[in-house]
Structure 1
C-alpha cells in the first residue's frame, strides 16, 4: 500500500504553488492484481467536489517502440499473434524498459529491435513520447527511429512470443492505416507521426 502525496485540502505539496483545480487527491493505493507484464492498481481518491471513490487502472513499465528502416528504405515489421483479439498483428517492434535502461532509452530500443527481429541499427534517434491510454493506464511509449537496420543480430524471443519478421514499403503502411487495414494502435500512431514530422 502506498500513501498519497496530497494534503487534506487536495494541494500537491511538491509543486510549490496552487493546486490544479481539476486534480484528484490520492488517499491511498494498493496493487489489486499482479500478472506477468502488468499490474492493476486500485486507489482511493477524493474528487474536486469532495466525493471519495475508488479508481482502478492498469500499470506497466514504460516501453520503446521502434520505427526501423533498412538501408534501402524498407520498414522492418513483426507479425505476432495477439491473444486478446485472436489474430495476427502486424506492427513495429517494441518492448519494455528495464530499470537499468531508464537513463539510456536508445540502448533499450537497440536491444528490443535485435531481440524481436534479429536486426541491428546503425543509428537510433528519439521520435516522440506519448501516453496512449492515460484514462485507464499509466503506459508510456517512447518512439525511436532506427536507420541502417541489417539482419546481423540474433533474435531472442520471450517464451510467450510468436513472431514472424517481415518488411514493407513505408507508403504501403500509410495506405494500410488510411484503409483501416493496420489495426495496431501504437504502430498506426508511429506511422502517422513519422509521416508528419519524422522525415
Structure 2
C-alpha cells in the first residue's frame, strides 16, 4: 500500500489544482494531473475537513444515538454523532468530545481512539476518525449548527446491531463504527 509517496510508480504528478465549487462544509477541487504513462488529464474530487465519529456509552452501557433529518436522502437517519474538525480543536479527541457535547448535550468521562478510515478515497479526500466515549451523561444543552435537526435517544448495543442487520440503519459511518468496535474493540482492548 502506498502512503502517497510521489516516488511510487503508480503516483500521479500534480500539475495544477483549483477549487471548482465551494460551499459550507466542502469544496469540489479540479486538478490537472499527469499519469504514470505520461497522459495528462484532469481529476475532480470532494475536499472536506477531517471528521470524528463517536460511539458514546452511558454509565449503564446504553448507546447514545441521534436521529437527524438528512435532506439528500429525504428521511430521518439514526446514527452516531459525527462532525467535522474545527480550527479550535486541540486534537481529534477534543473534536470528538466537542461533537458529542454539541449534538447530544452529553459529556464523556473517557474518550478512546478506535480507528481512522478513508470512506470514499476514489472520489473524496474524506478521513473519518472513530472514537468510543464512555461514561456519557447529559450535562449541557445541544449546540446545533444552523442546518441541523437532531433528536437524541439511547438504545442498547444489541438493538443497534439488530437495526444494522435489518438495514434500518443505513448510515455508513454508524455501521462501520459499530461493526469495527464489535470486531476489534479500542486501543486499550475494551
TM-score (norm 2): 0.93
1:100 to 84, 88, 102: 88
User: Counterpart of 1:28?
Assistant: 16
Structure 2 counterpart SS, 1:113 = helix
User: Counterpart of 1:72?
Assistant: 60
1:37 to 25, 44, 59: 25
Counterparts of 1:73 and 1:93, CA distance in 2: 17
1:63 to 25, 32, 51: 51
User: Counterpart of 1:155?
Assistant: 142
User: Counterpart of 2:177?
Assistant: 190
Structure 1 counterpart SS, 2:101 = helix
Counterparts of 2:125 and 2:131, CA distance in 1: 20
Counterparts of 1:25 and 1:100, CA distance in 2: 33
Structure 1 counterpart SS, 2:143 = coil
Structure 1 residue ranges, 4+ long, deviating more than 4 angstroms after superposition: none
Structure 1 counterpart SS, 2:58 = coil
User: Counterpart of 1:3?
Assistant: none
Structure 2 segments unaligned to the other structure (5+ residues): none
RMSD: 1.1
Structure (1 or 2) with the larger CA radius of gyration: 1
Q: Which has the higher contact order (CA 8 A, sep 6+)?
A: 2
Deviations 1:123-173 (A, max 9, x none): 111111111111100011111100000011221101110000011111111
User: Counterpart of 1:16?
Assistant: none
Structure 2 counterpart SS, 1:136 = coil
| Alignment of 1:172 onto 2:159 | yes
User: Counterpart of 1:131?
Assistant: 118
Q: How does 1:117-128 map to 2 (within 5 A)?
A: 117-128=104-115
Q: CA deviation at 1:178?
A: 1.8
Q: CA deviation at 1:90?
A: 0.4
Structure 2 counterpart SS, 1:133 = coil
User: Counterpart of 1:7?
Assistant: none
Structure 1 segments unaligned to the other structure (5+ residues): 1-10, 13-18
Q: CA deviation at 1:175?
A: 1.7
User: Counterpart of 2:98?
Assistant: 111
Counterparts of 2:60 and 2:21, CA distance in 1: 46
TM-score (norm 1): 0.89
